[in-house]
Amino acid sequence: MRPAVKFALVLFASLALAQSVPDLEGVWQPQQNNAMFSVLPHAPGFLLGTGSKTGIVEGGVLPYQPWAAERVKYRLDHMDMDPTGHCHYEGVPHAMYFPFQLFQTGTDIAMVFENMHAYRIIHMQGQHPKDGYQAWMGDSRGHWEGKTLVVDVANNNDKSVFDMAGHFHTDALHVVERFTPIDHDNIAYDVTLDDPKAFTRPFKMHFSFKRAPKTFQIMEAGCFEGERDQVHFNDTVKLSEHYDHELNSEAGAAKKDGK
C-alpha cells in the first residue's frame, strides 16, 4: 500500500475513534412516571399525584432494613420533614425527574435545571473529595464506557430524599448512573443505588429522557423568593394509614406473599 494511502487510513481511523464519544447535548425531558410523588407504584390521588402503575424501581420494592421501613412510615406521617417542600435541593437521582439542558466539554459535563435553579457538574477527571464534604447533589465523576456515560455519585448527605413519599437514604448512599443514547431523541437512564446503612442490598431504578421540542427552553425558577406554603404544613392526616408502607421493605413484601 502506498504510504500516502496508509497515512490517510490511519488519520481516518483516529478521527473516527475521536468521534466515537456520543454527543448528549440538548434539552431533555424525563419520562419518569410521577417519580417525584413516589418511586414505587402508587394509586392516583396518593399525595395529590396522578399515580403510577410501575414506578421506577426495578421489582417495585425498595429493600429497606426493618428500622428504615418504620422510618419511612414515620416520615409519611410527618410530611413537614419532606425537604422538597422547604426549597431544598433534590439530590440524585431525584433531580433527574425534572427537565435539564446538558452541555458537554472534554473536562466537564454540566446539567442545568430549571427546578430549584440547580446544576450538576459531572467532572470527567479527578477524584471524589475526601475531606468530609457532603452535598445534597453529591459529587459526580464521569467516564465513558463505549457509548454510555457512567457517573459515580458519592459525598451524598443524609438529607436529600428520593421522592415525596418518605423514601429517604443515609449519607452512605452511593449512586452509579448510566446514560445510554438509544437514538438521537432518547437516552436510557439506569441507576444503581447502594446504601448499606438503610437497605439490605443494592437496587436499581430506570427511566428515560426524551429530547425536548425546540420551543422549550430552561428558564429561571426561584423557590425561596415566592414561597408561601411552609406556614400551612401540618400533620393532621396520618398518611401511613392510607398507604401500604409494607411495600417498602422486602420483609414486608414477603409477609404479603405469606412467606
Partner 1 sequence: MPSRQLLIALLAFASAGFAQTKPPYAAPRTIDGKPDLQGIWMTRNAASFDVSEVAESRQIPYLPEALEREQKGDRVDPIAHCSMPGVPRITYMPFPIQIMQRPGYVVFLYEYQHDHRIVQTNSRAHLDDIDFYLGDSVGHWEGETLVIDVTNLNDKTWLDSARHTHSDQLHVVERYTRLGPDVIAYEATIEDPKTYSRPWKIAMPLHRITEAGFELREQECLEGDSGRAIHPPYRPAPKY
Partner 2 sequence: MKSKFLMLAACAALLTAALPALAHHSFAAEYDINKPCKMTGVVTKFDLTNPHSWIYIDVKDEKGNVVNWGFETAGPNSLYRRGYKKGMIMPGTTVTIQGYLAKDGSHTGNAHNVIFEDGKVIPLGSETNPG
Binding positions for partner 2, rule: CB under 8 A: 29, 34, 36-37, 44-45, 47-51, 79-80, 82, 84-85, 87, 90, 94, 97-99, 114-116, 164, 216, 219, 221-223, 225-229, 232-237, 239
Q: d(Cα 115, Cα 109) in Å, to the nearest integer?
A: 18
Give the shortest CB-196-to-partner 2 separation in angstroms. 27
Beta-ladder partners of 206? 190
80 touches partner 1 by CB under 8 A? no
Closer to partner 2 by Cβ: residue 131 or 225: 225
Contact call for residue 96 and partner 1 (CB under 8 A): no
Choice from 38, 101, 115, 180 touching partner 1 (CB under 8 A): 101
Per-residue b/e over 80-106, b at no fewer than 16 CB within 10 Å? Answer: ebbbbeeeebbbbbbbbbbbbbbebee
Residue 234 CB, nearest approach to partner 2 (Å): 5
Is 225 near partner 1 (CB under 8 A)?
yes
The amino acid occupying position 94 is H
Instruction: Give 140's strand partners.
Output: 122, 153
| Residue 155 or 249 with smaller CB distance to partner 1 | 155
Please tell me whether residue 81 binds partner 1 under the rule CB under 8 A: no
| 133 belongs to the binding site for partner 1 (CB under 8 A) | yes
Closest C-alpha among 31, 55, 235 to residue 163:
55
Considering only CA atoms, which of 248, 259, 258, 256 is closest in space to residue 66? 248
Cβ 194 to partner 1 shortest distance, Å? 21
Please work out the total of residues on this chain that contact partner 1, with binding judged by CB under 8 A: 32
Report how far residue 133's alpha carbon sits from residue 112's, in angstroms, rounded to the nearest whole number.
Answer: 22
Q: How far is the CB of 217 from partner 1 (least distance, A)?
A: 8
Verify binding: residue 25, partner 1, rule CB under 8 A: yes
Cross-strand bridge partners of residue 143: 150
CB 143 within 8 A of CB 180: no
Among 124, 137, 153, 175, binds partner 1 (CB under 8 A): 137
CA distances from 195 to 115, 163, 215, 244 (A): 26, 16, 40, 23
Omega before 93 within 30 of 0, i.e. cis: yes
Positions that interact with partner 1 (CB under 8 A): 25, 86-89, 101, 103-105, 108, 110, 112, 116-119, 121, 123, 126, 131-133, 135-137, 217-220, 222, 224-225
